[in-house]
Structure 1
């Protein structure tokens, strides 16, 4: 069974409440219909019930009756959600009047539902830019305890199973933080290890990547990676991690043992933590195109509850898969 199928099976066994704030958008509705039909999640659609009903009829989406539909402009908890947002943001100058208006915004409403315990996760971005999706997430749901930086990981499924864990690897950060400092880089490594376990189902072996291996080059950028490695070793001694490592030393056994003899990670890494967003984004796209790898993501890491952002060019299948992934993140959070 392939990885996506395994992710879906786990989602079915442990159904989570996933809110889709773009509930009037056609691809989102088609995805919700599939999710309801296959029992992958308890879907909550945000939108005008009449518009949703009309589109469901036009598109023959017969399984949407199994979803919950919440009208952002008129629902029983509107006042409570507005009060919650006011309490969270009043020190930033937010008034109760503005909080009431924002609580009618589906992207804010989705995060308020999660904060209140009425939903377990969110998937959005088919209609909205990343900044619009993440802004209410940062303001309302915020980051996990002990984590101050959000990052984006890709699960890379390679045709050559000699690399990673039978061809499965996690690359981060490829999507969010342009120039992480050492502390942030350490947090990205920890979050990526959790993604490797929760979503990819692999035992993480983390390589902190650089253009240097074990002091072969001296530079401030190398020192940043070394410090990040030391932070992880101190705060999470349970994790299998090494650095700084060049990419070949991280994934090729002979090179790893030559450059970092005795390392448990060198030559066998399956979680690749890049020193900055530029290198991570370039790397995953090169591997995707040149090696024909499947790239699943970006999967947002570090939030107190799973919130994931779609590309506005996403397909219906992309939405379905990301909801299943979000459900798996929620399951892992609850289990931890």
Structure 2
């Protein structure tokens, strides 16, 4: 069974309310149709119902309102309430009531408040906007778990094998402490999918084969990650081939316990992570699901602007699973 099928089946067991704020995008509308008709998630489309239905009709997408497909428009009473609450949340930044109301003109801020106040269980956004437009309201209004760094990972499905790549969307140049936390958090996320985490922290060096401050940073991150989670198999620093090719691992890293079978790849920075997943996706014909955010108090997930409807369905299913974990 493909990974996509597995997560959709899990989502259907307890479908959650997933809100989309980019409700006029063709890919979102098609994903909403699939999600609602197959009862994978309870879809909520933010915006004017008549405009959304007109846009869907133009794309020849037939949407039927039901328990699994609802439309939600901004309400004046909620705007007033949310403005007051945002002012309080952001009081350290001396945000005025007018400034809070201005923020709510952005649908993502309104969506984040709906999530914060329990009107929805998760948000999927980013099909039409940069990652920052999804992540900043999430940081400001949803917040992070205690002692947690928000990061992201992609689920890469290649020839029925599943890998997690991190961080490919959020942290530009993580410190050694941040790299360690990204490694541990991603390993914990892998447990949600029944994976046994085997974490490789990547570099252009394997076990000191090169000397450079960037290599040293990864080496120190490995040490810190192991202290944070002694129960998880974490190794490095290592080159990619040593991480995933057993024959190469034997030569380059003979005492490795991963033995070239890593299923979680931690990239040293956003340059390598973002380029790496796209290379595997485009040249290797792997399926990329993500980016999936981790470390937030409630589930919000970002989409790649190059995503397709089926990928949006998968992200929504994962968002449901994250919401299920929260109860």
Query: Is the structural similarity TM-score above 0.5?
Result: yes
SS of alignment partner, residue 261 of structure 1: coil
TM-score, length-normalised on structure 2? Answer: 0.90
Cα pair 1:33 1:64 within 8 Å, conserved: no
Which residue of 2 is the match for residue 49 of structure 1? 49
Equivalence map 1:104-123=2 (5 Å) = 104-123=105-124
Match of 2:182 in 1: 188
Tell me the CA shift for residue 281 of structure 1. 2.3
The residue correspondences of 1:1-336 to structure 2 (distance < 5 A) are: 1-55=1-55, 59=60, 61-66=62-67, 67-72=69-74, 74=75, 76-148=77-149, 150-159=150-159, 167-199=161-193, 201-332=194-325, 334=326
Alignment correspondent of 1:163? none
Tell me how large the CA RMSD over aligned residues is.
2.2
Shift of 1:299: 2.0
Q: Which runs of 5+ in 2 are unaligned?
A: none
C-alpha separation between the residues in 2 aligned to 1:82 and 1:180? 34
After superposition, the Cα gap between the structure-2 partners of 1:26 and 1:260, relative to the gap in structure 1 and judged at 3 Å, is closer
TM-superposed CA distance for 1:301, in Å, is 2.7
Pair 1:55–1:295, CA change in 2 (3 A): closer
Give the length in aligned residue pairs: 325
CA distance in structure 2 between the partners assigned to 1:138 and 1:60 by the alignment: 34
- Provide the C-alpha distance between the structure 1 equivalents of 2:217 and 2:26, rounded to a whole number of angstroms: 45
- Of residues 18-27 and 113-122 in structure 1, the stretch that sits farther from structure 2 once superposed is 18-27
Shift of 1:151: 2.7
Unaligned runs of 5+ in 1: 160-165
Cα distance in 1 for residues equivalent to 2:91 and 2:172: 30
1:21, CA displacement in angstroms?
1.1
Task: Please state how far the C-alpha of 1:31 moved relative to its aligned partner.
Answer: 2.0
Contact 2:24 2:56 in 1 (8 A): no
Report the CA distance between 1:174 and its aligned residue: 1.9
Question: Is the contact made by 1:36 and 1:64 (CA closer than 8 Å) also made in structure 2?
Answer: no
- In structure 2, C-alpha distance between the alignment counterparts of 1:260 and 1:296, rounded to whole Å: 30
Write the distance in 2 (CA, Å) between the matches of 1:218 and 1:60.
Answer: 57
Secondary structure of residue in 2 paired with 1:77: helix
Q: Deviations over 1:136-157 (max 9, x none)?
A: 1121112222222x33322222
Q: Distance in 2 between matches of 1:213 and 1:60?
A: 51
* Deviations 1:50-99 (CA, angstroms, capped at 9, x unpaired): 32344456646243333232212x25533332222111112112111221
CA distance in 1, matches of 2:127, 2:274: 21
Q: Are the aligned partners of 1:122 and 1:307 in contact in 2 as well (CA < 8 Å)?
A: yes
User: Per the alignment, do residues 293 and 28 of structure 1 end up closer, same or farther by CA in structure 2, a change over 3 Å counting?
Assistant: closer
